[in-house]
Amino acid sequence: MTSDTSTATEASTGPVIPAPDGYRQVELDVEADRDAIRDVDEWGFAFTTPPEVLEQLAFPLEAGRTVGIRTDADGELVAVHGSYAFEMPVPGGARLPTAGLTWVAVHPQHRRRGLARAMLTAHLRRTRERGEPLSALFAAEEAIYGRYGYGRAAFAARATLPRGTVLRDVPGADALRVNLERFDAERHAAVALAVHDAVDRPGWITPTTDALRANLLSDIAQWRDGAETRRIAVVRDAAGSPRAFATFARKEHWDEVGPAGTVRVKLSAALDGAAARALWGVLVDLDLMAQVETGMLATDDPVLTLLVNTRAAKVRTADNLWVRIVDVAGALAGRRYAAPLDVVLEVRDDLLGENAGRWALRGGPDAASAERTDAAADLVLDVRDLSAAYLGGPTLVALGAAGLVQELTPGALAAASAAFASPLAPACNWVF
């Protein structure tokens, strides 16, 4: 079957990577193959982008990090994936090179023939060869990525805050100024992204490229769903330094008894509790609005902690970042540990054999090392579960209680679990 737009031209160059019989996997040319890549993406995700919307979007996939699968028969592109070159904050504050897996799509005509598996195998291999110890993604469906060693490493909350939601007082909040302005990328993008980037939280990826930044802050008229144009609230201290922001749009609505609008927050970040209190205090008190949809928040975001009445806030949680340790030694030595740690992990990894086997992990708050060892294992686990625990979200004790970590040395599980903990819950508040 040929896709609607007949984009079967073979622009891509690059090496051939293993693929199932009848197909070949190749590096794509993000310029010449662009229309074909978009076409497969639209087939995979069941949407059509009108040309006038397309004009407003930057193409974010990166040269040298975009791969697809073509049929041998006619060279039609039928599967794609990309990988963003991110730096992901990990416990202890370092930022480690992380391949952000994205745009994974297989044309429905070619699904369930192993194309995604071929692409994931290539992606993990190429990530390792580039020296990136981690990969991360947002999963379209949760059942897809565990088989490739990705673990559910973070959860995020979304809340619907009724108008007038009462937040606890925070010293210093009243002294901060909150400006409400029309969002203007020229004026506000740098401010917003500087605040976003200054947040110190595991998993808190900030978009690296101009294209990703532009798309994240874009305000596409056709996607507003009846809401106003984008606004921004910026919280500044007495010296004028930005401490928090939220991009948002109000959607007016009147029910039979009066105003019932909704404030939709798209992206927000705050550098301290006073700034968060000042920001959300304004957002929950906008005239004619009945509620605020918060967008994605870390599960321990200050606004949730400041709620006097959590029941009224209708908090929902869902999986957030999925993380895959691609290089056990690099990833484990690259983060810090909340408590002294000296443990031998036996790791199972079917896709990246270099990770499999026993690793002596020693570390603490200031240093860490991970080296191969012949010593007996204290804990046995799959790379998927080590990856789930990596950012300090799901605990090793919880994974052990579920039967996913085997404890061979009594006490080792609790000790490792305490050391892997993060003071702040991991989260990323935008989808890539």
Ligand X SMILES: CC(=O)SCCNC(=O)CCNC(=O)[C@H](O)C(C)(C)COP(=O)(O)OP(=O)(O)OC[C@H]1O[C@@H](n2cnc3c(N)ncnc32)[C@H](O)[C@@H]1OP(=O)(O)O
State the binding site for acetyl-CoA: 104-106, 112-117
| 188: exposed, middle or buried (Cβ count in 10 Å: 0-12, 13-18, 19+) | buried
Q: How far is the CB of 209 from ligand X (least distance, A)?
A: 17
* Encoded amino acid at 169, one letter: D
Measure the CA–CA gap between 291 and 61, rounded to whole angstroms.
Answer: 36
Report the nearest approach of ligand X to the CB of residue 137 (Å).
Answer: 4
Stretch that binds ligand X, among 113-121, 240-248, 262-270, 325-333 (CB under 6 A): 113-121
To ligand X, the closest distance from the beta carbon of 82 in angstroms equals 8
Binding segment (CB under 6 A) for ligand X, from list 108-116, 164-172, 230-238, 337-345: 108-116
> Would you count residue 351 as binding ligand X (CB under 6 A)?
no
Cβ closest to ligand X, residue 34 vs residue 251: 34
CB 294 within 8 A of CB 265: yes
Does residue 113 belong to the site contacting ligand X (CB under 6 A)? yes
Full DSSP string of 262-299 = EEEEEEEEESSHHHHHHHHHHHTT-TTEEEEE--SEET
Instruction: Specify the 3-state DSSP secondary structure of 420.
Output: helix
Question: Which strands sit side by side in the sheet containing 261-270, from one edge to the other?
Answer: 160-162, 289-293, 261-270, 242-251, 231-236, 177-182
Nearer to ligand X, 83 or 422 (CB): 83
Using CB under 6 A as the criterion, what x/- string covers residues 44-63 for binding ligand X?
xx------------------
Cβ contact 142:344 at 8 Å: no
**Residue given tokens 């930022």 in the structure block:** 95
Give the number of residues in contact with ligand X, rule: CB under 6 A.
22
Q: Are strands 341-348 and 379-382 parallel, antiparallel or unpaired?
A: parallel
Q: Counting contacts by CB under 6 A, is residue 221 touching ligand X?
A: no
By CB under 6 A, is residue 147 in contact with ligand X?
Answer: yes
Q: CA of 108: how far to CAs of 28, 73, 105, 334, 411, in Å?
A: 20, 17, 9, 39, 49
Provide the residue type at 392 as one letter. G
Active-site hit among 86, 145, 150, 245: 145
Residue 85 or 144 with smaller CB distance to ligand X: 144
> How many CA atoms lie less than 13 Å away from 312 in the CB half-sphere?
14
Say which of 23, 84, 248, 432 is annotated catalytic.
432
Q: Does 318 bind ligand X (CB under 6 A)?
A: no
Q: Is 84 a catalytic residue?
A: no
Interface residue with ligand X among 78, 106, 297, 368 (CB under 6 A) is 106
Report the nearest approach of ligand X to the CB of residue 122 (Å): 12
* CB closer to ligand X, 144 vs 398: 144
Taking CB under 6 A as the criterion, the residue among 129, 141, 256, 374 binding ligand X is 141
145 labelled catalytic: yes
Residues carrying an active site annotation: 145, 432
The contact set with ligand X (CB under 6 A) reads 44-45, 101-106, 111-117, 137, 139-141, 143-144, 147
